[in-house]
Chains A and B, each alone.
Chain A
Amino acid sequence: MQFESFTELWHMAGHGPFVWASYAITLSVIVFLIWLPVQQRKAFITEQKRLQRIAAHEDKSSNNKES
């Protein structure tokens, strides 16, 4: 361990803000790059489920008409 206390780790002899800002930005970009496809996938599945429901509904109503 290079640092004696938590405040020392936070300050890093004056370089703390730079180091922590870099790590924070990196973390947010990493999270964003993972979140984006997951989010798109979710939106796609919701949309397709809706289309499936509509298709099922139409099938049913056309069946009713026929009978």
Chain B
Amino acid sequence: MNASQNLSLLKGLSATLKRELTLLWRRKSDSLNPLLFLVVVCSLFPLGVSPEPKVLAMLAPGIIWVVALLACLLSTESMFRSDFDDGALELFLLNPQSLYFHSLVKVLAHWLLTGVPLALLSPIIALLLNLPVAGIPVLIMSLLIGTASLVFIGAIGSALTVGLRRGGVLLSLIVLPLYVPVLIFGADAVKRAAEGAAVPGQLAILLAFFMLSFALAPLAVAGALRISVDS
């Protein structure tokens, strides 16, 4: 009995994962636009601040992290949109499979197609902004772990605002204050690494944030989705 339940849970989850990845893959622009956003916005900073390599190198960790954070935020806005519009969300609420695991898998799929590419693209931005090469591995690592927390937190905001007609600005107002801890440790890790220091502590804390949001955020997302569908 128990074993068969576990099996059906796993089957359901892998089916969900497959579905989400297929959907995201079909709408490639949703995953590509945040990447484009990252490149375009980061290239505005030399124009707005100064092309001086030293200045850029000093600002690079902060700029890349803030812009990656905004790119993540923009991408989360549409996370539940199409499911809400075509009614799939209501079916998920009726599903015997728990909404907690469904949200978890959905967010992970979203992270795979936005957070991971962002992290992989970041070395190019690092070169554009003259970030010392010593900082690049930590930049990738920190973005990889950090964007996962960001996507999980953003999913809460996205689930809360999915029923609203104009949720975009509201979403950023709700979610950005919650991003503060991730930004602090992420940007600091890159900055220290660029100066040549080892940063196991910062990365460990980012990992802790990720685990916390991994465990708790789906709860809030599930609750928020129920509210949004009811309204």
Do A and B interact directly, with beta carbons closer than 8 Å?
no
